[in-house]
Amino acid sequence: MLTDACPNTVSLINLLVALPAEAKPIASRLDLERVQPDLGFPLFRRGQISLIVTGPGKINAAAGAAFLGALERCPREAVWVNLGVAGHAGRRIGDVLLASSITDEGSGRVWYPILGQDRPCRADDLLTLDRPDLIYQREGMVDMEASGFFATACRWSSAELVQVLKVVSDNSRSTAKGLTAKLARSLIGDALETLETLLAGLEVRAKLLRETGDRRNDG
């Protein structure tokens, strides 16, 4: 088990989830180990990949992203992805979607992630709420973390390297009241191939940004 809570390694891929159930299949697939001692947020790492579990809500997501950015000394060419479950009035449970826009319901602020042509799945709008939605009258995805994550991660990295990837876990026919930790683990597990494809594309972008920066420095 890892014991170095303040590593010398710079993290180039930063993953953020809200729930332990979401973290478990990711840590298993990417062979990540829990970092000890716990500094307030559960943290998993292997090499230049880090995964943080923030707890639900946009405030926790923002705090976790800020914590990870400071702890890991993340460069501007680091990749950031928020992966988690989300509700959607009409989409099927298990559908994997990138956020094409992120709206914070409380402030009304909107962000537009930069989606590449090589995106590994469909995209849809996302609305971040302060409390769960059991009415399903809104269009697009709904969650409770994305706005806090995205706004904070973009302070640490180039916006084109920051993405939100969600798995539909509940809809108007099967509400969030039926969402269990077991179901969340299964849904995230089924989305990991899409996550890996997304990360591969983002790593290509990050490499190009690093090379561009190096050429500017050399010039």
**3-state DSSP call for residue 162?**
strand
Tell how strand 79-88 and strand 162-170 pair up. Answer: parallel
Residue 209 belongs to a domain: no
- Identify the CATH number of the domain in which residue 58 sits: 3.40.50.1580
Residue 186 belongs to a domain: no
CA dist 113 → 89, 104, 117, 150, 171 (Å) = 22, 14, 13, 9, 24
Percent of the chain with pLDDT over 90: 79
How confident is residue 101, by pLDDT bands cut at 50, 70 and 90?
Answer: very high
Query: What's the chain's average pLDDT?
Result: 91
Residue 175 belongs to a domain: yes
Distance from C-alpha of 130 to C-alpha of 145, rounded to nearest angstrom: 9
Distance from C-alpha of 188 to C-alpha of 165, rounded to nearest angstrom: 10
Query: Which stretches does DSSP call E strand in the chain?
Result: 13-17, 33-34, 43-46, 49-53, 79-88, 96-104, 110-111, 122-128, 141-143, 162-170
- pLDDT computed for residue 215 by the predictor: 54
Residue 206 belongs to a domain: no
Name the residue range of residue 164's domain: 13-180
Which of these, 190, 191, 198, 128, lies nearest to 160 by C-alpha position? 198
Min mean pLDDT across 24-28, 52-56, 68-72 is at 68-72
Residue 120 belongs to a domain: yes
Residue 101 belongs to a domain: yes
Min mean pLDDT across 7-11, 84-88, 152-156, 194-198 is at 7-11
| Number of domains forming the structure of the chain | 1
Residue 87 burial (C-beta neighbours within 10 Å; 0-12, 13-18, 19+): buried
Distance from C-alpha of 130 to C-alpha of 37, rounded to nearest angstrom: 31
Residue 7 belongs to a domain: no
